[in-house]
Structure 1
Amino acid sequence: MPSVVKWSHYALLAGFSAVLPVAAHAQGTADAGATAEATDERVVLEADTVYENSADNTIIAEGNVEALYQGRILRADRLIYDRTTERARASGNVIIIEADGSQQFADEVDVGPNLSDGYAIGYSARLEGNASVAAKSAIRRSDGINAMEHIVYTACPVCEGKNPTWQIRARRAVLDEETQMISYRDAVLEVGGVPVFYLPYLSHPDPNSERRSGFLMPNAGISTMLGTFYKQPYYWAVSDYSDLTISPTVYENVNPLIGVEGRKRFYSGAVSFDASFTHEADFDSNGTTFGEETFRGHLYGNGLFTIKPGWKWGFGVETQTDDLYDLRYRISNQNAKRGLYSNQPRRLLSQLFVTGQGDSYYTDAAVLNFQGLRGEDDASRLPQVAPLAYAEKYWDMGNLGFASVNASSAILTRDVGADSHRVSLGGDWSTMKILPGGFTFKPFAELRGDYYLLDEAVSGKDSVSRAVGNTGATIAYPLIRRGKNVDLMIEPTVMAAWGFANANDPAIPVEDSLLYEFDESSLFEPNGVGNFDLYEGDGKLSAGITARAIWKNGTEVATTVGRRWRSRADPNFDVASNLNGTSSDWVASTSLKMGSALQLNSRVRLNEDDLSLSRLDMRASTSFNRFRAVGQYYKIDPRISPAGTSDEGIYLRGEIDIAGGYSVIFSQLRDISRNVDTRQELGIAYTDDCARFEIIYDRSEVRDRTLGPQESFQIRFSLLSLGNFGSNGF
């Protein structure tokens, strides 16, 4: 029987403990409350043998020793407690289990009361995130400083007889429990047991910490334009609610650049920004400078704040000093959405907006400003929008259906070109009925009035007012057939509507419908345009069919195909809009879902005369076995292309696992119509549970004024718990 020893007048091994067993509470219930506080200071010691050595005033426990104190456990083969010095020494397979479940190991430990100080021989520990640390010796001080000699740290699985993918070896390391940082002296980063980097000093956060200030992993490479470059980010945790990353970059061919990224959270919202600046002249794709040196930079940022429940305001800012600045310095995130509205490629958009939404209303208002980065852009012809506003109120009228009213305004001004000030007020109504035989019947009506205040010198009129509207109905016949292996659903649908004639005045400048194209998503809408400046009136008829098959194993195929007929051709619609004649091209969409093995989505437009391909957009993704890829393909016939020429391109990105964690990476964005690779990447990668290494070759054949084809070579890797080295934007 193991012996159980209890001390209640002082703490033995305070810090190694657990809940006292029943045997340790032999006192009667009368004094239970009086001793509750003292119970927290007791240590329970269990072992095969426990005896006292009166000669040197020690207590010795041997065989399956386990000491428990306040949620902590110490296990060892042998333990000696010195009553005179109040220190304890444990040896043989020592394991310390903290209250949070983390474990520490040692061949031998010597500790004082309450673990205020001590040392360990043959020390190792498992940290959060599967990280582990081992040292020949470790010393813990009462101020929370833990010093380790001849240390090895890794976040990889440790197997006997095999080197981890990566590890840090250092002569000395210090873990500061207050700052939660691990600092190394004479550190060597080993990959596969081979030394790669030597650093006289290195520090990184303890895996238990959330975030800490310090240097991040650098980024380095070689570019035909910038030459050899090195980027060293520094992360500054300003407060619990804000941080800043400062990233100076030095280049072989041009002057250094400073990058700054910041985030701050407030009580009602948050802001973030990405900026950079330098003092440099223009330079071409070979890094040859020309012109005068001046300050150049960029600023992208956004913020969103709550005014009150349902109401928010925000902003987005996008600006840079030069239209080629982002391409020269490879600034990313230009196309991110930073507010209500998204920009177009090579166009920057700054906006200030407010939104409100409740159970029966929605409203928004925004001020917009554009900056053109294309060679043909003229800043004086780009509009300033102040404001662009929309509001809608709707009602559920029960058996009578749904109704809504809406108001909208758009005020566009230019230094050169047509100004346009529009105000609109409208309303609509619809309901749904089930007819005998299973038919669905949806009648609808809409009415809107527009008023335009125009620039007479450009438009020929000082103002235009109009009334537009449609009324009609949609009828459909949904059919379903459930089967043993597959369920089939088919729904033929017809929509008929009649609207006001001559809805489009040629004096109205078309601002919001320049690139609009009628497709299957608006096949059964009475107004096939969906915006404000152009409106589809007159009589129209749409017919189409939607079919879907769902297999029991989860595979699903769906398609919609249809066409539209009009009572009169409207010359205000061009060929690209698909609404220019008395009948549209055939439009269709198809999707295939087979889990991760294959996801396919496509949209197609076929010429109404000979069913030749007018437009095709297709996206596919797959992940099975050793192969993962995503691809997109598009083709636009010259007949409907705004430029009047064929437009075709393909984008592919994927990775093929070869063996043992090694894989081949490929990525290509190709403009087939111009026979140009917009971007191409090819590389080799190694991936395991704790690291990823990449060697990447990158090439772009795009020419934009002084910038031409570019090539670069990078080594990129990511180490679990340490961060990324190189670009992670692949």
Structure 2
Amino acid sequence: MRDLRRARQSAEKLGLCAGSALSLLCGSAALAQTATELPVRALDSPTPLLPSEAPRITAPKPTPVATDDGLGQDGFYLEADTLVRDDKANTWTARGGVEARYQGRTLRAEEVIYSVATGAVTVNGKAQIIEADGTVQFAEHAVLDDKMRAGFARGFALHTTQDATFAADVAIRRSETVNELNRAVFTPCPVCAPDGSSVTPTWSIQADRIVQDHQHRLVYYRNAVIRIKGVPVFYTPFLSHPDPSSPRASGLLMPEPTSSNSRGFTYRQGYLFVVSPSMELTVKPDISTKQNPFLQMEWKERFYSGYLDARVGYTYSRDFDGKGDQFGGQTSRSFILADGRFSLNDKWDWGFTLDRASDPLIFEKYQIPNVYENHGMFTPDLQRLLSQLFVTRQDSNSYLSIAALDFQGLRTSSTGITENSETFPIVAPLIEARYEPKADIFGGRLRFTGSAVVLSANESAIDPEQPGIDSRRATAEVNWRRNFTLADGMRLSPFLDLRGDFYNIANTTPTDHSDHSIGRGLGTAGLDFSWPFMRQAGSTTVILEPVAQIALSPNVSANPHIPNEDSIVTNFDETNLFSIDRFTGYDLAEGGQRFNIGGRATIDWGDGLSARILVGRVFRAQPLALASVNTGQGSSASATGNPTPQPATNLTFAPNTGLNKTASDWVVAAETTPVAGLSMFGRTLLDNNFQAQDTEVGVNFARSRMRGYLRYDDDNTQITGRQRNVEGAGEFFVTKHWGFSVMGVRDLQFSDWRMRDLGVIYMDDCIRVEVVYQHEDTQIGRLGKSDSVFVRLKLATLGDEGYRNADFR
């Protein structure tokens, strides 16, 4: 029996060694001894310092953890080599391999003394208390209550389920919710090497006294010293942070130091106010050596039906350039970026974004991150803001959205002239609808689509003294498709599409302010064909699939009286090779008789390794004719186009798209993952002479000590001319913990860099620090080229989220 028990204990200790509990055993004594080296200061009060103004989050009452040891809630189990009863002292003493279990809590020690009169338990010699939730406590000597909870301990260590470690010379349980640790240390970093020896944690907080307030999920420190790799770097008489089990709590955020030419050294210090479990406010003031202070605030609130997020920024200062030289008078400069979305019921939602800036360069000047990230229903171009209000309804077979959009242009020339937002139309309303009957119609799927939009601009893009073009459009479309699969695997899909557009347009020219009504209809009938062939050899699967599509429509050309607001940019690639209409919007329509043909090939080696290629082109019965196109305001009224005014004449498809001839350019697209951690892709347009017109290739790699990407883009299809760029970024570790990062964007057409980054990285199990030097060569208004130094930090959190990632710029 004794040998069996020893074998079981050895296995359990080996399991602890594989995790973190044994790491605490190796580190607890060393950490406690290190804590005693702190300078001892006279304490003002024998009780812990718990400031009344500290924000708190009340923790819910703990739920009893169900255990499967068969003891239930009242059962008690005790095992030891010897058990001695002392009637005179009214005690029981267990010695040698002692193990006790009660209410899901396990106690192991060399000696346990139980007082029958008081119910107190005294534990001596390498004691372990394992809680039902996985928390582990260690002590050389401890006094427990009748529920085996420590009330007093020497040589104490605690390892939480969040992999945080507390260690102390003396630990005292003051109440059900408050523990006091004297001459103590805290760290979220590993304190044990894989071989069981103790290691110095990457960072730790040592203090004369640590108080754990479990009710409010806070940890308080008296006379705290923060150490990096054992070296003291900061002292504070008082410090607090959320308990490792706390999801969040009010307090200071990580500082964000930055140095740049335009603002000098900038210190950004955030503070988080947790107003309620569903509401928080973050305040981030910037203090700079060259410029006036700048204040940012962010409000987040969650409701049972949705969310509300809002960021604002404000300063009162003069304008400045990329060198930090000021000019002009002092004025208020601010921005707001707000969005919200809410559910009215299981079908109806509504939402909004409110994005505005009083200074077109405020985001670049003050290095505001994530300005143009996706939020709301529509997304604008870079350096343009979009405010929108929308409502949607969706169920299993229908969809409806109604929206209103308003744009603000922020693009600024080197002379400081900002694009005129008054020439951008206000979009109100924009309506899109779709309905599909659940039942098959003539054996196939029937879809009804509707769209309507009203655009109104205050100023003409040609003459600011004149009103801009006002247009109203309504579109109705019906589409039917049926799929057949023949016995030999051939797949046929006949389809029919009917579409009608109605336009009412005013102010088409600076001298013509009358209304014009225009109607247009288009019908398309066709057939999709594919015939996949598959062969398998071992774990390798090969699929070859010829694909073709025939689409028949009347010949159409661009109507010179319809302003092109939503179809200015057309990209021809593998995503729309087999589309019956390759325009992104409604203002232009693709007609004529065309035959789209191509082929796909796939090789799958298993384990995520594969290769795919697609080749195809479009044949037309006749080339498209030249037509006069009114480009209207030249704005992205449907949040898809480019608001830059375009030339007044254009082909239905522009010559550089590769679609305006009887035989289009060849579309070639391929991607492969030949080995784990390496993927490559490429796509190109080849003309009849097999000269590349639009090429993009890229490589992604990720290995144990390196990861990154490389992109090359050569685009000769844009109306602004040829663009050739190469972009790459990566990080490479020279040792286990030290590495460097690089990033660069180079314009090959003009032989000029746009941006370059070089960083040094340190990373271990609980911290990642990257110090980056960035040189930005792009001229943004009057800011010009700039140099800056910033820090990217990932830190083992004091809450429950593991690594918390923040990009500080």
Could you tell me the TM-score, scaled by structure 2's length?
0.81
Distance 1:618 1:418, change over 3 A: farther
Structure in which a larger fraction of residues adopt strand: 1
In 2, Cα distance between equivalents of 1:398 and 1:89: 81
In 2, Cα distance between equivalents of 1:729 and 1:590: 37
What is the RMSD computed on CA atoms of the aligned residues? 2.8
| SS of match in other structure, 1:308 | coil
Corresponding residue number in structure 1 for 2:703: 624
Corresponding residue number in structure 1 for 2:579: 525
Contact 1:470–1:527 (Cα < 8 Å) also in 2: no
| Counterpart check, 1:705 vs 2:705 | no
* Letter in structure 1 aligned against 2:572: F
Q: Deviations over 1:334-354 (max 9, x none)?
A: 221112211111111111112
Corresponding residue number in structure 1 for 2:764: 688
In 2, Cα distance between equivalents of 1:165 and 1:222: 26
In 2, Cα distance between equivalents of 1:52 and 1:152: 39
In 1, Cα distance between equivalents of 2:301 and 2:235: 35
1:714 is displaced (CA, Å) by 2.9
In 2, Cα distance between equivalents of 1:498 and 1:656: 55
| Counterpart check, 1:78 vs 2:78 | no
Pick aligned residue for 2:712 from 612, 633, 648: 633
Pick aligned residue for 2:748 from 672, 681, 701: 672
| SS of match in other structure, 2:344 | strand
Corresponding residue number in structure 2 for 1:291: 328
| Counterpart check, 1:152 vs 2:185 | yes
In 2, Cα distance between equivalents of 1:589 and 1:329: 41
Superposed counterparts of 1:114-133, under 5 Å: 118-133=151-166
| SS of match in other structure, 2:583 | coil
| SS of match in other structure, 2:560 | coil
Contact 2:432–2:450 (Cα < 8 Å) also in 1: yes
In 1, Cα distance between equivalents of 2:238 and 2:269: 15
Q: Deviations over 1:83-109 (max 9, x none)?
A: 566544322112222222211111111
| Counterpart check, 1:200 vs 2:277 | no
Pick aligned residue for 1:351 from 380, 388, 405: 388
| Counterpart check, 1:330 vs 2:367 | yes
Superposed counterparts of 1:142-541, under 5 Å: 142=175, 144-159=177-192, 160-375=197-412, 377-395=419-437, 396-397=439-440, 400-416=443-459, 417-434=468-485, 438-458=489-509, 462-484=516-538, 486-541=540-595
Q: Deviations over 1:162-185 (max 9, x none)?
A: 312222222221111111111222
Distance 1:597 1:340, change over 3 A: same
| Counterpart check, 1:643 vs 2:720 | yes
Pick aligned residue for 1:591 from 661, 667, 671: 671
Distance 1:562 1:86, change over 3 A: closer
Contact 2:105–2:148 (Cα < 8 Å) also in 1: no
* Letter in structure 2 aligned against 1:719: L
Report the count of equivalent residues.
697
Greater relative contact order structure (CA < 8 Å, 6+ sep): 2
Contact 2:483–2:492 (Cα < 8 Å) also in 1: yes
Q: Deviations over 1:525-554 (max 9, x none)?
A: 222325210001122222222222222454
Contact 1:61–1:80 (Cα < 8 Å) also in 2: yes
Say which is worse superposed, 526-535 or 566-575, in terms of deviation.
Answer: 566-575
Contact 1:146–1:174 (Cα < 8 Å) also in 2: yes
Contact 1:586–1:605 (Cα < 8 Å) also in 2: yes
Corresponding residue number in structure 2 for 1:604: 684
Q: Deviations over 1:493-515 (max 9, x none)?
A: 33222212335311100011111
Corresponding residue number in structure 1 for 2:662: 582
1:46 is displaced (CA, Å) by 4.4
Q: Deviations over 1:589-613 (max 9, x none)?
A: 11112364222222211223x2211
In 1, Cα distance between equivalents of 2:723 and 2:490: 42
In 2, Cα distance between equivalents of 1:261 and 1:548: 48
Corresponding residue number in structure 1 for 2:643: none
* Letter in structure 2 aligned against 1:429: W
Distance 1:726 1:433, change over 3 A: closer
| SS of match in other structure, 1:285 | coil
- Where structure 1 has 5 or more consecutive residues not aligned to the other structure, the ranges are 3-16, 25-38
Contact 2:133–2:161 (Cα < 8 Å) also in 1: no
Distance 1:142 1:117, change over 3 A: farther
1:716 is displaced (CA, Å) by 4.2
* Letter in structure 2 aligned against 1:525: S
Q: Deviations over 1:157-208 (max 9, x none)?
A: 2123431222222222111111111122222222222223333332222212
* Letter in structure 1 aligned against 2:432: Y
Contact 1:18–1:72 (Cα < 8 Å) also in 2: no
Corresponding residue number in structure 2 for 1:100: 133
1:617 is displaced (CA, Å) by 2.1
Which portions of structure 1, spanning 4 or more consecutive aligned residues, are displaced by more than 6 angstroms?
Answer: 17-22, 723-726
Distance 1:87 1:490, change over 3 A: closer
In 1, Cα distance between equivalents of 2:718 and 2:185: 62
Contact 2:556–2:589 (Cα < 8 Å) also in 1: no
Distance 1:718 1:391, change over 3 A: closer
Distance 1:688 1:117, change over 3 A: closer
| SS of match in other structure, 1:380 | helix
Distance 1:580 1:249, change over 3 A: same
Distance 1:465 1:726, change over 3 A: closer
Contact 2:794–2:806 (Cα < 8 Å) also in 1: no
Distance 1:477 1:58, change over 3 A: closer
* Letter in structure 1 aligned against 2:143: D
Corresponding residue number in structure 2 for 1:109: 142
In 1, Cα distance between equivalents of 2:184 and 2:277: 31
Corresponding residue number in structure 2 for 1:569: 624
Distance 1:547 1:84, change over 3 A: closer
* Letter in structure 1 aligned against 2:541: D
1:131 is displaced (CA, Å) by 1.4
Distance 1:311 1:394, change over 3 A: same
Contact 1:77–1:93 (Cα < 8 Å) also in 2: yes
1:57 is displaced (CA, Å) by 4.6
Q: Deviations over 1:598-650 (max 9, x none)?
A: 22222211223x2211111233211124221122221112xx32113x21112
In 2, Cα distance between equivalents of 1:649 and 1:618: 11
In 2, Cα distance between equivalents of 1:405 and 1:61: 81
Q: Deviations over 1:632-673 (max 9, x none)?
A: 221112xx32113x2111221111121122212111222332
* Letter in structure 1 aligned against 2:159: R
Contact 1:683–1:694 (Cα < 8 Å) also in 2: yes
Contact 2:694–2:714 (Cα < 8 Å) also in 1: yes
In 2, Cα distance between equivalents of 1:676 and 1:415: 39
| Counterpart check, 1:139 vs 2:156 | no
Identity of aligned residues (%): 33
